[in-house]
Amino acid sequence: MDMMNNVLEKVDHFIDLVFSYMEKGSAFCYDKLSVFLKLAYAWSVVIGIVLILVIGIYGLTF
């Protein structure tokens, strides 16, 4: 019985470890994504506006 309990405890411990890695991975994604999106934001707005202008000017050829 003790052996079974030990096995179950080890499995529980492993699952807790996996969950803690999930939490760390999620926090890592949040931190990196925040930094990337803050940097990409201004460029994306400018490129987007330029693309809208290009599409509008291209439409003049129709």
Partner 1 sequence: MEFLFSLGNLFNFLNYGGFGGLIGCLVLIIIVLVGLNFSGRFKTAIDELVDANPTSISNPVVFTVFGVLTFLAVVVATLGQLVAYFNMFQYGFGMWVLTDLIRIVLVGMLGFAIAGLYFQPERANVKIDKSSSVAEDVIALLSFGLKVPLCFAAMFSNALIVLGVITILSGLGSYFDTSNYYGAMTVQMGLGYFVLGAFAPFLFYLLFLFLFPIYNFWLAILHIPKIGKK
Binding site for partner 1 (CB under 8 A): 19, 22-23, 25-27, 29-30, 32-34, 37-38, 40-41, 44-45, 47-49, 51-53, 55-62
The burial of 58, by beta-carbon neighbours within 10 Å (0-12 exposed, 13-18 middle, 19 or more buried), is given as exposed
* Shortest distance in whole angstroms from residue 11 CB to partner 1: 16
CA distance 3 to 32: 43
* Shortest distance in whole angstroms from residue 14 CB to partner 1: 14
* Shortest distance in whole angstroms from residue 20 CB to partner 1: 9
CA distance 9 to 3: 10
